[in-house]
Structure 1
Amino acid sequence: MYHGDTPLARRFQAGFIAVDLAVIAFFLASPLLSDHPWFLAIDYSVAVLVGFDMIARGFAARDLRRWLLRPDVWVDLVILIALLAPMWIVNLAFLRVLRLWTLFRSPIVWRRLRAYGLDRWEEMIRAVVNLVTFLFVMTGFVYTAFAYRVPGIEGYLDALYFTVATVTTTGFGDITLPGPWGRIASVIAMIVGISLFVRLAQAVFRPRKVTYRCPRCALMRHEPDAVHCKACGQVLQIPNVED
């Protein structure tokens, strides 16, 4: 079901993506919903869902040891811990949005996107996902660590405003994080954020390339009309891509 290409497997994979997107939407809305009495019930239900998904993907993996070493698996494990123990020692709820990053590292997602011809935008999509994920992780951290303790950060929207202003290096100065840890958080936001913005700009504006493995040197990125590999000169047979 995870790796197949039968009609049933395709429907399962589409459902998997839809459920994951709904879970991510719940994670993004969590700061606004956490005071409701039914929040923990949904939270633990999602934890069970994520846990079963990890177990199923482990059984479906062709090489379990290699699968366990994948970074997205470790990130999913951190998300599961954050779901099961949101109030232990430190509130890790802001890490849940990393599920967006792990979703777009899943072969299931790219198999479906390739079916619709969207793989040509893979580099740009990954850059957007990385930037959005970082923005919301940083926003969650600022909200968790500084909300109601710092003048100007009275809610999640204020934390998002500070994060975007810092990441873009606009720095209006109306909200600042106090103390050494506040300055460290701001520096991290600026350095990582501007790097992700540059990566996104490169993906959008530089000439588009296609992914095709050279049979001789294994170079993956080529111009769409390339006849020879620019690294080793091997004759390429890149399939035509409709614009």
Structure 2
Amino acid sequence: MLRKVCLLSIGSTLLAGCFGTHTSQAPIATTYPISEQQKMQAAHHWDVLAQHQADLLTQNERLKNQPLFIKSPDQTTPFSRAFDTLLTSQLVAKGAYVKTSPTQAALVSYKVQVVEHKDRGYIRAPEGAMTALAAGIAVATIPYNNWAEPALALIPAAAATDLFSGSWTSETDQEVVITTQVTMADQVVYSNSNIYYINPGDNGHYSPASEGAKLKSMNVSGEW
């Protein structure tokens, strides 16, 4: 019996040596380190982006004291119409020279792309979420053990909700990529991209196609 076991072990070892270790027929899935991404869901957030871009533009060494002209996209959207005026206001407030014509001015433009994920996988909960949930369950069990009134258990949980609910938000299957660029003499001298989550119902704010899709068509006939 021992001899058979030894022969089997030797055979398995020799067989394993015929194959490479740490191999796979296809790349295995892995994850990225945890990162954060903001969610746009108010016109105020557009103003925050405009302020951020104005800060970067006015601090750029190649653009200091350079006249700027903001070029609107060929197809306008609620976002583009608002962002034009918001960016203009923020630039002027910071002392930038914003022209109303492109003559002898650096051209400021921006591109907006809506990305919709059709089959997104599981997104893990933020760190501490399970601990907070477990703590809430533990608090809810206290009245049944010690307190006379079970409803009192809701007080600390409600207090915690009031304290932290402002930082709670959810991921969505739709995102928007907003890239601001500045060109001078057919050369890109500045480019900055920002990515945000958006609510699915808000995609019409950013995409002309989505905005137009909301309009209902009506057949017109000359027959009575």
- TM range, normalised to the smaller chain? under 0.3
In the superposition, the TM-score normalised over structure 2's length comes to 0.24
- Considering Cα pairs closer than 8 Å and 6+ residues apart, tell me whether 1 or 2 has the greater RCO: 2
Q: Which has the larger radius of gyration?
A: 2
Point out the structure with the larger helix share.
1
Q: Counting strand residues as a fraction of each chain, which structure ranks higher? A: 2
TM-score (norm 1): 0.23
